[in-house]
Amino acid sequence: KYQAHPLVDKILEYRKLTKLKSTYVDALPKLVSRRSGHLHTSYNQTVAATGRLSSSDPNLQNIPIRGETGREIRKAFIPSAPGWVIFSADYSQVELRVMAHISGDPGLRQAFEQGEDIHRATAAAVFGVAPQEVTPEQRRKAKEVNFGIIYGISRFGLAGRLGISNNDAEAIIQNYFAKYPNVNRYITETIAFAREHKYVTTLLNRRRYISDIASANG
């Protein structure tokens, strides 16, 4: 593995802290309503090209949660009245469940239907070990693999995420597709469809047009 100069990590840490300071620490207090004393976001239904909801002024869908510093920023959000609580809910591995449905991959569907730990199952497949022998680090890497691949990550991108060589990343991707072949088929067919028709559709038949998919500029 290539060893970067120690200064690189310090620069990256500085950039991260600068981003957190400018985006949240400095910006959020300026958005507090003078009338109510609270933050009031706007949820936008028809702004994002993908059809998802977006949030603005401030973007409450992008408040950091990873890392100690990010969690400290999240602590700034408190209930507006004594005795109230802020309730949080999240879908469980929703992207992978949707992929299991639309790809029809038997291995992926079986894992969810039987209540398996999907990241452990993937780790066992890509690292060639028994499920009970999967280490926490292998499971963490498998989580990166699971979500990375369905979003089209390249071997170069996966190598950077996991801190491994491009060849090792390629081997992991191939092992993944051997475990879940219908996922590979679905991704390949979707890309081919998009290149031919210049659009893709969601489960509810919403179209997203990609007219420049063949652009030389990528």
The DSSP secondary structure of 55-79, one letter per residue, reads: EESS-TT----SHHHHHHHHTT---
Domain spanning 94-209: CATH 3.40.640.10: no
Q: Around Cβ 124, how many Cβ atoms within 10 Å?
A: 20
Cα–Cα nearest to 54, from 42, 72, 66, 64: 42
Mean pLDDT on 116-137: 92
pLDDT at 100 over 90: yes
Q: How much is the pLDDT for 167? A: 94
Q: What integer is the mean pLDDT of 50-65?
A: 89
What number is the average pLDDT over the span 122-145? 93
In this prediction the pTM is: 0.74
The per-residue pLDDT for 217 is 66
Strand-pair category, 54-56 with 42-44? antiparallel
Residues 6+ apart with CB under 8 A from 111: 100, 118, 121
**Mean pLDDT confidence for 17-34:** 93
Residues in the chain: 218
Within 8 A by CB and 6+ apart from 132, the residues are none
8 A C-beta contact, residue 182 and residue 105? yes
Domain positions in the chain are 6-74, 94-209
Predicted local distance difference test score (pLDDT) of residue 138: 94
pLDDT tens across 136-184, in order? 999 999 999 999 999 999 999 999 989 889 999 999 999 999 999 999 9
Quick one: pLDDT band at residue 3, thresholds 50, 70, 90? low
